[in-house]
Structure 1
Amino acid sequence: MDFNSDPIIKVKDAGIFQGLDAILHDVNFSIDKNEFVFLIGRTGSGKSSLLKTLYADLPLKMGEAEIVGFNLNKIKNKEVPFLRRKLGIVFQDFQLFPDRSVAENIFFVMKATGWKDKTKMKNRMAEVLMQVNLGDAATKMPHQLSGGEQQRVVIARALINEPAILLADEPTGNLDPDVADGVFKLFQDINQQGTAILMATHNHDLLRKYPYRVLKCEKGLLLDSKTADISINTSY
């Protein structure tokens, strides 16, 4: 791998840890701007730990890594919010505040990432809700939305700061197949508009239907379909 090139993510000879336990060894990969990449593997194989390391929720203890211009070897706690302004993070379990409206959920993230002008905040919120086809949902509470709509709110929230890449951890895992397909197509639209996507998934149908590049966590290693023949049919 050319570590002097300019992809959006660069990882070289990294170890991915949970506490003192090494989950993945000798991790080497890069992701280019505008690329769409699946991340697969059995439960406990390291997918979530890898994503958490990329958004600095877990420390990088071994090797080198850079994401959206931030060196994860040297990043300080006070710099983490600035890193996350340039990322979008989408979780499987939504993580919406149940006692706040859609608008309030989005405003919370905006305030946490440095937005202050209320007019600009309202305008940007309206833009991202339109982008995810929820233009009339600002005043609704999470419990008034379907699972698919809640996930679209999470995606809207992740798009607030026009991130260079979205890191998505099983974003369709809790959704019915038809709803999941619609959410996935939204990710495709976002990708086609210039945002890179790294999506962890167990959905074999997506993997078979869309021939994107695949990274697979397996037996402590990260395999890359660019350089290895990866099976997507193994149960995990």
Structure 2
Amino acid sequence: MVFSNEPVVKVEDACIFQGINTILKNVNFGIEKGEFVFLIGRTGSGKSSLLKTLYADLPLIMGKASVAGYPIQDINKKDIPFLRRKLGIVFQDFQLFPDRTVAENLYFVLRATGWKDKLKMKNRMIEVLMGVGLGGAATKMPHQLSGGEQQRVVIARALLNEPSILLADEPTGNLDPDVSDGIFKLFQEINKRGTAILMATHNYELLKKYPYRILKCENTEVLDSKNAPISLSGSGL
């Protein structure tokens, strides 16, 4: 795959804080369009804080970051929803509305991101559900689905606005190995269609089996396998 010269993510000399605590410092990396990158590190090492910074849930006080063309360090609050339209965010704990059908969960996101044409909304909802192998799930409630199926709904939701990058925070962490493998293969299919992926994971088997680039949060730094080999020891894997 040929990558564009313009990274979908570019972080320069960034320091990430939680309150007065420095979580990560001197962070520098880029992610090209269509690239697949693992994000690893022990619990509490800064993985989630880094992801939250990239989708502007955590303010970037020092340094610079560009995500999908938006400058995160001085992004206006009114622009954050527009940034997130260009991102797909996949959480470990699903965050689906339990009292709404799968279709209603997806329609909520479409309406919130400016879609108005009901036919286009219906077609897009069907398209993304078909794309994740859940074409018949639109009328089901989340509790009627398995954990793996719910995660597929979450991925479908993240794909609604054709994002340039998916940010996934431990998307297979609560799933059994066979289901996890299916979810990961789905991410690979999405990546092959041109969507960049940054996936936080503790799954050592994935790292051994698929030699994608690795970012490792360790001792307040972000190490990059693009620059030097990454040791998997001490990663909490």
For Structure 1 versus Structure 2, the TM-score category normalised by the shorter chain is over 0.9
* Mapping for residues 181-196 of structure 1, pairs under 5 Å: 181-196=181-196
Partner SS, residue 166 of structure 1: strand
- How many residue pairs get aligned? The number is 232
Partner residue of 2:148? 148
1:91 aligned onto 2:98: no
TM-score normalised by structure 2 residue count: 0.97
- Aligned sequence identity (%): 75
Q: Is the 8 A contact 1:89 1:168 kept in 2?
A: yes
Q: Which amino acid aligns with 1:113?
A: T
* Mapping for residues 19-168 of structure 1, pairs under 5 Å: 19-168=19-168
Partner SS, residue 95 of structure 1: coil
- Runs (4+) of structure 1 moved beyond 2 Å? none
Give the unaligned 5+ runs of structure 1: none
1:148, 1:168 → 2: CA distance?
15
Q: CA deviation at 1:235?
A: 5.2
2:127, 2:6 → 1: CA distance?
30
1:173 aligned onto 2:173: yes
2:234, 2:20 → 1: CA distance?
29
Q: Is the 8 A contact 1:204 1:233 kept in 2?
A: no
Q: Is the 8 A contact 1:41 1:47 kept in 2?
A: yes
1:231, 1:171 → 2: CA distance?
22
Q: Which amino acid aligns with 1:155?
A: I
Q: Which amino acid aligns with 2:186?
A: L
Q: CA deviation at 1:139?
A: 0.1
Q: CA deviation at 1:71?
A: 0.4
* RMSD of equivalent CA atoms: 0.8
